[in-house]
Structure formats: C-alpha cells, structure tokens
Structure 1
Amino acid sequence: MRYFWYLTVRQMGFWLTWILIPIVVEIIPAFISAFVLVMKNKHQDREEMPMKLPFITVIVPVYNSEATLYNCVKSIKDSTYPSDLIQVILADNQSTDNSFGEFARAQTDFGLHMQLLKTQKGKANALNASIYQSIGTYIFNIDSDGTLETNALMNMVLKFENNLDISAMTGTILPRKDMIKRTKKFHLRLLRDNEYFEYAQAFLSGRVIESYSDQLFTMSGAFSAFRKATLMKTFMYDTQTLGEDTEMTFQIRDRMKQKVLICTDAIFYIEPIGSLDELYRQRQRWQRGELEVAKDYMGKGAGLKYFFSNFLVRRMMIDHTFIFPKMIWMFASVVLLFLRYSPVILGLSYLIIYGLYVSVSIVNFLCVELLLKKFENERRFYSKLFWVVFCLPLYNFICSWFRLIGSLNESVENKNWNSRGFKEESGNIVKVVKGDVRNLERKRN
C-alpha cells in the first residue's frame, strides 16, 4: 500500500507541475477577470444624446464582394443613425467581379451619400486612400461581407461623444446566427457553434477586460471606429504587414498614448466560418500578423523580466510561448505510457485539466450573458449553446495547433500566408511520413 501511495504521489507530482501552467497562466486570471467584469457592470451609465449628432464616414473596403456588398450597404441605410449624416466610401481595391454593379444598385435603392473609390490592391491601401477622402468627425471601417446591428453606429457615436478621452474603438464581432441555424452538415454546424461561442467570449469577456486596463491588443479589422483627428496624426495603415489592424491599435495606444476601447453594444455580424480549412488559414494569418506587430513594438522591453510591467510581453508569453508546453505535454503522455506510467494517472491528469478549462468557459459564459442583456435574441441564441462549454477546450486546443504552425511558418516563409490550406499541408505531412517509412524499410533490407 505504501509503495502504491508513493508511486501515485510521485506520478501525480510530475503531472501537477504541468497542471500548474494552465492554472497560474490561464485559469486563475480568468476567474479574477470575470469577477472584475461583473463588478464593473453592476451599474452601467447611460450615454446621453448630444444636442446635435455629428457627421460620420463609413469606409467599406471592397474586393470581389458582389455577393455581400448590397446587404452590407443596406445595413448602413437601416441603421438608426440618420442617413443624411453618413458619408459612405466604398474602396474598391481591384475587384474582378461585378462589385461595381452592386454598388450602383445600392446607390439607386438607398440614396445614401455614397462614392466608389478605386485604390491599389490590399485592404490597407484601400483604407488609407479612403481616410483622406473622408469628411466625417468619426471614421468607421467595416468589412463588406458583414452587416451592422441597427443601433451599432449610434451606440458607438454616443460613446465617443460622452467620453472625450476615447480616441478609437472596436465593436463586438459575432457570426450570423441565421446562417448557423441553416447549417445542415453536422461537422460544420459543430464548428460554427464553437466559433460563435468563441467570438462571444473573446469580445464580450476577453476584450472587455483588456479595455478596463487600457491594454486592448487589437481592434477588429471587421469593425472599428476612430476620431478623424486621431487618424490624421498616425502613420496610416501599414501596407507591409498582415496585421494592419493590430499595428494601428499599437500606433494609437503605445506611440500616441491615447485610449483604445471596445464598445460592447455595437455589434457587427460576419459570415460564419466555411470549413476547417478556412479556420486553419485564418488562425495562421492572425498569428503571423500578431508576431510581426509585436516584434516591431516590444523593442528593448522583450525580456522575461518585463513580464509584470509590460502587458505585451505577458500577452506573447501566454498566447505564444505557452503553446509549446501544451504540445510537449500531449506528446509526453504517449511516451510515458511506453515508460509504464499508470494510464489511470495520465487519464486523471487529462480529466483535471479538461475540467479546469470547462470551468473557465462556464465563468465566461455567465459574463457574456450579462453583457448581452440589451440584445435579447442574441442572448437567447447564445444561452442555447451552453453545451459548447464542454467541447470548447478541444476547439481551442485545435486552434492552438493552428497558431503554432503559424508561428513556425512566420519564421521560415514569406507573407504569402494563403498559399497552403489544412488539407494540402496534412497531405504533405502524410507524404513525408510515408517517405520516411519507405526509407527505413530500404535500409533494413
């Protein structure tokens, strides 16, 4: 009995050291953040309507957006913000489809102050050219494949008008629930349910907490807003990086020392993910864009000793460096089975870590419910997805792998992040493994 107890403690002691990593780095901070969020949202101040609403500019970068552009512009027209106070600039960066035809149809149907601007290829180029053509007090950027919630523009303008210290904001991005509901394929519906849950928690929990300490890592490229006076003092969007939205966030917050926040009640709806392959490309792009920007802005403060004083160092350590122990931990599990470690102990360790991540998802779930009170339909749909808390840890683990691959590709490849998808790279791995096996067989013979 003593021997069994000793063996169990020794093996559990080994695994507890691995369990401590997510507990200290992710679990405990998540519970503390949730408590802060709940306390700060007990009494929300109402934004007062100004005597006169300002004129605003909405920029829509367009590239082969024939299928979605009309509905995007329609959401601007249907907004509660007065149409006569909105300038709409469609920045066409060399589309090859009938995007112009959809622009013309929208212009005829909606009667907005619209103009089509031809720009160089690339979203950053489209945004930069449009900024110089804008005449609004506030400038909004929205993607052409999404739609605005009817009060989104109004809510964001009111937040600007009532908080003169805010220079830029990002909105809340959520996948369209109507498209998710119509998804018939089981595996795609499962992927989209997890994506919706992830977006809701990332924006209405994660980014809210970042905003409280003025440490918002990135404004969403899909929906952001700025004081024009602030934008004109920046170096504009960086055309040489994959993460132009993150780079702009750092320009305003770190270089100009101005406040960047999230407006939780300004929602922008995007199309849900189309496949695992699309998710694979997307997360690699995000990862590589973050790494590029972080490398430029961390400078001399990129040491471990700055972990507590520099939030960017903490973010990079948690989001990137700690990915590697997770992967090593998984491979170590297989190796230790061959070294006759108890499968029961290994299984129990997995169960403990899984339970911890589920508990974090539940806490974040409650936080999101609190912030969705104003949007009853959205809150009701989100509530029905409570079961996702039990599979979200696996979804996040898969995304961690995709991000790790993005980090590795960033160090060895150029910026052509869209060159290979998940299926192609998986096929390449299989070919390499088969080739190695054949080589070993030849040597053996």
Structure 2
Amino acid sequence: MTGFIEILPEDEAHPFWFQQILNCEYLEYLTVFGIGRSYQSLFRSIYTLSGAFTAFRREALAATLLYNAETVSEDTDLTFQLYERTPSFRVANFPDVRIYVQPITSLAALYSQRVRWQRGQLEVSALHKKLIRQRASSLLGFSPARTLLVDHTLSFPRLVWMFFLPILMTFGYSLSLLVAAYLFMYLFYLMLETTWAGAAYAFADDQTRTHVRRIWPSVFLMPLYRVMIFFFRFSGFLIALTEPGTWRITSPLWQIQAGLMDLRLRWRLFLRSLRRQEE
C-alpha cells in the first residue's frame, strides 16, 4: 500500500520565479496523490508504489526479488514484481495516510528528478516485457502499455503542434490565428488544471486547504509548468538512449556552460596552433 505524499510548505523566502515553481510542484503533488492515486487504486491500476512511502505485507515482499539495482526506478520495478508474483494481493492507495516531503531545492534538482523518473520508466518496461504484453489490451486495471502510450507515443504529436504550428504562417495563416490557437490550448489546459486542483481541494484537510488558498493564483501557471516538466521528461527519454543510468543528472544549464567552456578552450588551442605554423 501507499498513501498521500504532500509537499511540506516552506516559510523560507525564495526568488519570485522559483517560488512559483514550488507552488506548482505543491499543486502537482496534491492532484497526483490526492486524486490520481485514488483513481488508480479504485481501478487497481497503480503504476508505482512510491519509494518515499510504501508498506508491504511480509508474504508479498518475500515473493519478490526486492529492490532491483538494474534500474534507477527500483520502486516501480518492485511494483511490477508484485503484479507478476503476487496476483492474489492488491496494490492499493490509502489517501488518509500521509507523509510530508521536502520540496525541490533548485531547478536543477527538479530536472534531475524528472529525468530519473522517465529513464526509470523505460528501464522497468524493458525488464518486464512479458507483463506489458500480457496487459497490453486491458482497458481497465493495471496496463503499463497504456501508460507508455500516453507518456511516449503521444509525446511526438505534442512536439509537432508546439514547434511546427508557426510554420503554418508560410502557408498563409495569420499570426493572430496562431496566437488564438495557442491561447485556446492554454485555456483548455487551464480548465483541466483548475478542475483537478478543485477536486483535490474538496477532499483535502483544513491545513492543506489553507495553503492551497494562499497559492491559488499559481494555478494559472500550471499549464506552463506542465510544459516544462514535459521537456524534462522528454530529455530523460533521450538520455536513456545515449547515457548510462545514474542517480544524479547534470543540469542542462551546466552542460551548456561546460560545452561553451570546452568550445572556448578548443578555439584557443586552434589559434595557438595557427600561430605556431606562422612562426
């Protein structure tokens, strides 16, 4: 079983932009664990028993291979093992039981976390191909194939409309029409976020409701936050294809900085070699 994982509100002062990210992270956890996990539990489709907060029956845990070091998402792997090895037990969520976790400490930490989660999802899928094939056609219940379809296959159409929609201007579409299209999509996603947050608020306790009311304006930034998280996760998909799995992921800003420093060093070496040839 797992439960409600809530971000612990902080009194520490942060820059305005980072505080908005923290607020969005809080709302994200509130909807995922307050509504999403309860829905998954109802239809017996919980994808991951979070490593931060999970309890097991001893008999069920003894039937598994425990945490697997072959993946950076060992909690997801253990969840898949439970579905495979202990079908008589139920993987469930208890929303009334909760723990509090610290919020992210930086944008780089958020990037590293989401890249790790995305990479782990792919690694676990590769380790449990038989389970995925067996439940591929399942419309209800646990179906990793359905989750992979949403998280990966549908990512490419999203990239298309985000980046290639402006190309329509070359076919005679006006800028105002494209702006209206983006605005419509933003309002649509905002409606979804408001609905999710409102539903989670309705089932929350008084302390959580008080904090949600304080940060409620940040819900207007949730569609943009989701876009940022999407690119972080998409980066995890690409990294999984090219780099070995590690717990800590280098921030893309640091990678760009390191790349520029390397480029500058190579340029200096090139100029030095030219001078030597002239001498």
Q: Distance in 2 between matches of 1:391 and 1:275?
A: 18
Three-state SS of the structure 2 residue aligned to 1:263 is strand
1:369/1:383 contact within 8 Å kept: no
Alignment partner of 1:267: what SS? Answer: strand
Q: Kindly report which structure 2 residues correspond to 1:14-413, keeping only aligned pairs within 5 A, or say none.
A: 169-177=1-9, 179=10, 181-257=11-87, 258-299=89-130, 301-302=132-133, 306=137, 308=139, 311-372=143-204, 375-413=205-243
Kindly provide the CA deviation profile for residues 18-53 of structure 1, in whole angstroms up to 9, marking residues without a partner as x. xxxxxxxxxxxxxxxxxxxxxxxxxxxxxxxxxxxx
Contact preservation (8 Å) 2:22, 2:104: yes
Alignment-mate amino acid for residue 264 of structure 1: P
Kept after mapping to 2: 8 A contact 1:211/1:260: yes
Compute the displacement of 1:365 (Å). Answer: 1.3
Aligned residue type for 1:273? I
Post-superposition shift, 1:170? 1.1
> How much has 1:307 moved relative to structure 2?
6.9
- Tell me what 1:98 maps to: none
* Post-superposition CA distance 1:106-145 (Å, at most 9, x none): xxxxxxxxxxxxxxxxxxxxxxxxxxxxxxxxxxxxxxxx
- Structure 1 residues 417 and 237, CA, compared in 2 at 3 Å: closer, same or farther? closer
Q: Does the residue aligned with 2:250 lie in a helix, a strand or coil?
A: coil
Per-residue deviation, 1:389: 2.1
- Amino acid of the structure 1 residue aligned with 2:112: R
1:238 positional shift:
0.9
Q: Distance in 2 between matches of 1:325 and 1:176?
A: 35
Output one character per residue of 1:183-207: Cα deviation in whole Å (capped at 9) or x when no partner.
3311221110010010111111111
Equivalent pairs, count: 262
Is the 8 Å Cα contact of residues 166 and 178 (structure 2) preserved in structure 1? Answer: no
TM-score by length of 1: 0.55
Q: Deviations over 1:62-118 (max 9, x none)?
A: xxxxxxxxxxxxxxxxxxxxxxxxxxxxxxxxxxxxxxxxxxxxxxxxxxxxxxxxx
Whole-angstrom distance in 1 between the partners of 2:131 and 2:77: 18
What percent of counterpart residues are identical? 31
Other structure's SS at 1:259 match: coil
Letter of the 2:182 partner, please give it.
Y
**Cα 1:426–1:384 shift into 2, 3 Å:** same
* Residues 323/276 of structure 1: CA separation in 2 closer, same or farther (3 Å cut): same
Rg comparison, structure with higher value: 1
Q: Structure 1 residues 357, 405: CA separation in 2 closer, same or farther (over 3 Å shift)?
A: same
Whichever structure has more strand as a proportion of its residues is 1
SS at match of 2:186: helix
Q: How high is the TM-score relative to the length of structure 2?
A: 0.86
Matched residues in 1 for 2:259 and 2:224: separation? 22
Query: What is the distance in 2 between the residues matched to 1:386 and 1:400?
Result: 22
Name the residue aligned to 1:158.
Answer: none
CA contact (8 A) 1:303 1:313 kept: no
